[in-house]
Amino acid sequence: MPAKPSAGSPAKPSAKSPGRDTYTPESLLAVAVEVFNERGYDGTSMEHLSRAAGISKSSIYHHVRSKEELLRRAIARALDGLFAILDEPDAGRGRAIERLEHVTRRTAEVLMAELPYVTLLLRVRGNTRTERWAMERRREFDHRVAGLLKAAAAEGDIRSDLDARLATRLLFGMINSIVEWYRPQPGDAEDRERVADAVVRLAFEGLRKQ
């Protein structure tokens, strides 16, 4: 248990006294991502991270070289999860519309399973090298999905009155909006499946009963 903060310490008046550093790279990253999502990456200092983790700044520097390294690792986790979808067997075989449906469902699932990491990815705006890299990789993912949508259109399985680029944007808009309201509950695998099902039904079949 960390020691009680000593009231009115002049150096760090509002900081918790640093506790013992029992963090793994993963658990420290989880704390950092939470703070980034709450305060924004630009608005987060190493001091904020130190307070949230309850360990000293020098302990954090023992794990990572910089705040930007934490951002890079967090973004990489989100991107790895998303790009792995494109290598799944069902993303590579069968008609393009079936592959697109698989990728849509899995993108929603990965977004919910890796919620804080994907939330951070969707919010970065490109002030640092890492943020520009994140935006570029995100565009690449969107581009790969847009390619699937175009292939499905070429195979005659997509409504011909929908522009592929616009449809891709709206599809991602729908999927990405899940971060605004989805909050995982304990034992939520069923809930995630219910949401992913709804995304696929709405996107592929639409609201209207045929």
Q: Would you tell me which residues interact with its own copies (CB under 8 A)?
A: 97, 100, 149, 152, 156-163, 166-167, 169-174, 176-178, 180-181, 194-195, 197-199, 201-210
Please report how close the Cβ of residue 100 comes to its own copies at its closest, in angstroms: 8
Say if CB 40 and CB 72 are below 8 A apart.
Answer: no
Q: Where are the alpha helices (DSSP H) in 44-95?
A: 46-53, 57-63, 67-86
55 or 196: whose CB is closer to its own copies? 196
Q: Which is nearer to its own copies, 18 or 101 (CB)?
A: 101
Residue closer to its own copies, measured from CB, 189 or 202: 202
Query: Structure tokens of 61?
Result: 């520097």
The CB-of-8 to its own copies minimum distance in angstroms stands at: 28
CA 162 to chain centre: 28
Question: How many angstroms separate the CA atoms of 33 and 106, rounded?
Answer: 22
CB of 159 to its own copies, least distance (A): 5
CA distance 210 to 122: 34
Report the nearest approach of its own copies to the CB of residue 114 (Å).
Answer: 18
Q: What is the spatial distance between Cα 130 and Cα 127, in angstroms, rounded to a whole number?
A: 8
Task: Compare residues 88 and 197 and give the one whose CB is closer to its own copies.
Answer: 197
Residue 90 beta carbon to its own copies: minimum distance, rounded to whole angstroms: 17
CB closer to its own copies, 115 vs 158: 158
CA of 36: how far to CAs of 39, 100, 195, in Å?
5, 32, 26
CA 49/CA 36 separation, integer angstroms = 9
Query: For residue 170, what are the CA distances in angstroms to 107, 150, 165, 189, 202?
Result: 14, 14, 9, 26, 12
Of the pair 5, 43, the CB lying nearest its own copies is at 43
**CA–CA gap between residue 158 and residue 202 (Å, rounded):** 14
Shortest distance in whole angstroms from residue 128 CB to its own copies: 18
